[in-house]
Amino acid sequence: MDNKPLPDRIVSRSKPKAAKAKTKAKRRPAFSGSNAPKSAYRTEPLQKPSGKLWIKAANQNVELRVELYKKDGSLDNAALAQLDDMFRCLATGEVRAMNPLVYENLSRIQDHFEGKQLEMYSAFRYTDRSSSRHFHASAADFKIPGISIYTIKKYAETLDTGHMGLGIYPSGQFLHIDVRAPGEPSFRWTDYSGSSRVKPSKARGRGRTQPARKPVS
C-alpha cells in the first residue's frame, strides 16, 4: 500500500451572495392634504365662546389678555385693535383687521383647554401671495405649550361648520387655522416643510392700514 500522505483536502469556498440591496425608505411627502368630507362638518350651531384670549406672540416676546366682547355681547373694537396689532405682518409691520371669526375660534380652543395660554407664531402676512389666507388676515399659526398639536387638531375639527382650513406642522410643532369664504370647502393638510417663525421687522407704520377695520376678504 502506498503510504504517501494524502494532499490536503481542498475546501471549496463559494463566494458569498451579494448582499441584498437595502430597500430605500419611502420618502415622506413634505405636504399632503385634501378637502374635508362634508360628512365631517359640524351640523350643530357653534356655541359662543367666553371671548377670553390670553396670547403670547412668540416671535415678539409679548403677551396680551383681552375680552373679545362688550357687556352687551357685541365685539369690542378696542380689543380687536389690540389683537390686530399683535397679529400684524412681522416682515413689514403692516396691520390689517383680522377676520374676528379667527379670534372667536381661538377663544373656543382656549376655553376647551382650560384657559391655557396660546402661543402665536404668525397671522397676517402682507408678503404672502394673494391666495394665502394669511395675506387676507384670516389665518393664524399657533400652539398650546404642553398640549399635543394632534390633540388640539382633533378638537379644532369639531368646530368646522364648513369653509375652515386646518393644517398641522409636525416639524415646527404648531397648528394653522383659517376662515375661508362661505361655500368654499374645508381643507385639511399636514406639512413637514418647516417653521412659521418670522423675525419681526423694525420698520413700522409705512403704508399701515387701520386696526379693527372690517376684513378685506
Asked if the structure places residue 6 within a domain, the reply is no
**For the whole model, what pTM was predicted?**
0.81
Asked if the structure places residue 37 within a domain, the reply is no
Domain that holds residue 171: 51-191
Q: For residue range 134-178, list pLDDT tens digits in order.
A: 999 999 999 999 999 999 999 999 999 999 999 999 999 999 999
Three-state DSSP state, 86: helix
In whole angstroms, how far apart are CA 169 and each of 47, 79, 91, 198, 211?
27, 29, 21, 15, 29
Q: Give all strands (DSSP E) within 3-61, no chain letters.
A: 31-35, 52-57
Count of domains forming the chain: 1
Q: For residue range 94-131, list pLDDT tens digits in order.
A: 999 999 999 999 999 999 999 999 999 999 999 999 99
27 sits in the region (left: phi over 0; alpha: psi -120 to 50; else beta) called: beta
Asked if the structure places residue 179 within a domain, the reply is yes
CATH code for position 152:
3.30.1380
Asked if the structure places residue 44 within a domain, the reply is no
Asked if the structure places residue 163 within a domain, the reply is yes
